[in-house]
Every structure is written in C-alpha cells, then in structure tokens.
Amino acid sequence: MGMVGGGRDAFIGAVHRLAACMDGHVAVVAGALASTPEKSLASGRDLGLDPSRVYPDWQTMLAAECKLPREQRIDFVSIVTPNFMHFPIAKAFAEAGIHVVCDKPMVLTSAQAKELCAITAAQKVVFGVTYNYSGYPMVKQARDLVRSGELGDIRRVVVEYHQGWLATPLESSGQKQAGWRTDPARSGAGAIGDIGSHAEQLASYITGLELDSICADLSTFLPGRRVDDDAAVMMRFAPRNGVAARGMLIASQIQAGCENDLTIRIGGSKGTLTWSQEDPNFLVLRSDGQPERIFRRGNPYLGNLAKASARVPSGHPEGFIEAFANVYNSIAAAIRAGAGGPQAATEFDFPGVIDGARGVHFIERAIASSQSQNKWTEARFTA
C-alpha cells in the first residue's frame, strides 16, 4: 500500500502501519507522508521505504504510481491526513482506479460523501473507512447476536465515548494532534466528529438500525476552543418489526482522567448486551430467566465473524491493533478477490464508503440540531 500522511510526529499513521502489516498481507511500499516535501522524505527514510517511492506530495505520488506497471503499482492508498484533506485525495486516487482506505470522518460534507460514493461505484474500487472499533471480534459477535434474535426487538441503545485528553487547552501548547483536531477548518467538527462518528458507526454496525431523527446538544467547555468538545445526542430510530428504538449517544473529550472509554449497551425485549472497548475480549449478555453470559473471544461457540477475526486462542487477549488490523485484512481480502464498488464493504465485512457517508451525514445533522436550539431534527440517511 501507499500512505498519504502519517509521517514523523503523527499519531495515527504509525497505528495504521502496525495494523495494516500485522498479519503479513500488506506492506507499505510508497508514501507522501507529510505536509512538506522535506518532512515527507525524512519520514520515508525512517520507515526504510525505497526513496524512489517516497514522494514530496500526494499529487506527485498519484502521478508516479499510475505510471508504474500495474503489478508494481500500489494496490491501495491509505489516507491518514487531517480530515479536510481526505476528500481531494480520496477522490483523485479513486478516480484513477486505485483502491482507497480513508480515516474517519471520511469527508467534511455530505456532498463530498455522495461524490465519493458515486466514484466508488463507477470505478468499482474498494473503498474502506477505518472505523476500527467494529474490527473487534466481540463487536462482530454482538452484531451476530442481534441478527440471530438473541435480544428480541431492540428498544434502547446507549453508546458513550468518554475521553479526557482535551480536558485542558492542549491546543495552546503546540501539541499537533490537538492543534488540527480543534481547528474547524481542518477537522470539520470537534468531539462529535472525532469520536461521535465512531460511536455512531459502532451502534449502526451492531444493530443495523437506521436513524429517524435526533436531538443534539453540543457544547464547548474550554474557553476559546473553536469546536465542540462535548456532545450528547438523543436518537430515534426507524421502526423494525414495528418497534422504534430510542438511543442516546455521548461523545465527550473534556472529562479528566478518562482514557478511551467507549461503551455500548443495547437493550431489547429478550436481552441486553454491553461491550466496553477498554476490556474488549468480553461481551456481556443479560437475558431474563438465565445467568448472565459472558462471551469470550477465541471460543468455538462464537459466530463465524468473531471466530474468523481472532488470531490467538481464548484466554490470550487481543487488543486495539488487532481490531484495527481486522479492518485492513477485510479490505485487503476484498482487493485480492477483485471486488469493488460500495457493496464490497458488506460482502467482506468492512466499513465502506456508504458507512463513511452515513457518518458524515450524522455529524451534519447533529450540528444542525444543536444550532437550531437543539430541536429534534430529521436524520434519515439515504445512500
């Protein structure tokens, strides 16, 4: 693969490389790794890339790679830049017929998202969005339990994502991550975009429910901060089997001491599930009339997706990188199989361009609701 972004000082680029390469299916062979040519070249050296494939910028990279014979060219590009750069890069590579992996939130506007959906369909490329939390085996098991009816009708969804890293005005310290993530021009939104989008996708992946309307309350706690740093969203889902589930989403980055505390609870007419990212090898199911059951990663009693996404036996914990790698592995499998277009995501069980578009739409609608005096706002998404 080739990588755009993720050079020296970047946080998430290194995680992407670890994840992509973990199982030996993918290797980084080219890159435009930073926002200046010098830094890009230096970063390429750090990674031991062939200097001829370390490019000063993504445009050069695209042009040069396209000139290479197909079997030498990168199979896909992984875009790990600040959010505002996702769209032009993804568009250009996809239009050139190169598969794309893009970090979340996918783009800044629904219009951009629709355009990417259309290009993905037209070019029949594989387009993945690294919503990495749905790569956890026990999240896949949760989805499986919902589908198999273990919960009955879903009634209440609560997904919470609590962090503390922006509890202080970190952006004033020159910290790079905090800098662009709190700059609306580069990030598009604050907590609702950065982690709210993860929460939305996690709920959507597990339940398959579609939003009907939402009522959002976005706040900014740190004086002078230019994006929201705390968000609460009440949700109403479209009915399924005549039951319209209610939901609640919290995405907050200003609670000191919280690390990466993402938890989801799904209550239904027959049972209630909970999963917590900080302890990801376990999935708790409470049902009436029987003991609480804890599904544990790596066991034969799990569903196929959960089983296929585990590497080591039960009792040997897997973590964040492994879950992230599962996303890359599914994308790589789709590419190897010659799949393409938006529907490849469903077939190969990875978050795709439509999931990315739905996430962007969610962020937009949450902001719209919050800006309109927190009214209930229509939030139906059509691919």
Q: Is 299 in the site for its own copies (CB under 8 A)?
A: yes
Residue in this structure with the two tokens 């000139």, named with its chain if needed: 67
Asked if omega into 105 is within 30° of 0 (cis), the reply is yes
Work out whether 322 is an interface residue with its own copies (CB under 8 A).
yes
Tell me which of 73, 226, 240, 270 binds its own copies, using CB under 8 A: 270
Residue of 294, 343, 371, 372 that binds its own copies (CB under 8 A) = 294
Helix or strand run (H / E) with residue 250: strand 246-252
Distance CA 297, CA 294 (A): 10
Residues within window 335-374 making contact with its own copies, judged by CB under 8 A: 373-374
- Rounded Cα gap, residues 149 and 189, in angstroms: 36
Interacting residues with its own copies between 164 and 203 (CB under 8 A)? 164, 167-168
Residue type, 193: G
- Which amino acid would we find at residue 377? T
Q: What DSSP character marks residue 378?
A: E
Residue 20-59 contact track with its own copies, rule CB under 8 A, x = bound: -xxxx-----------------------x-----------
> Which range of residues in 2-10, 90-98, 250-258, 359-367 is near its own copies by CB under 8 A?
250-258
Among 236, 240, 305, 307, binds its own copies (CB under 8 A): 236
Give the number of C-alpha atoms closer than 13 A to the C-alpha of residue 195, restricted to the C-beta side: 27
Pick the closer one to its own copies by CB: 214 or 357: 214
- Can residue 258 be called a binding residue for its own copies (CB under 8 A)? yes
Using CA atoms, how far residue 2 sits from 33, 58, 72, in Å, is 9, 10, 12
Span of 60-68, 100-108, 254-262, 355-363 interacting with its own copies by CB under 8 A: 254-262
- Is the dihedral angle over the CA atoms 119, 120, 125, 127 positive or is it negative? positive
Amino acid, single-letter form, for residue 66: C
163 lies in the site for its own copies, by CB under 8 A: yes
Q: How far is the CB of 116 from its own copies (least distance, A)?
A: 28
Stretch that binds its own copies, among 112-120, 123-131, 317-325, 358-366 (CB under 8 A): 317-325
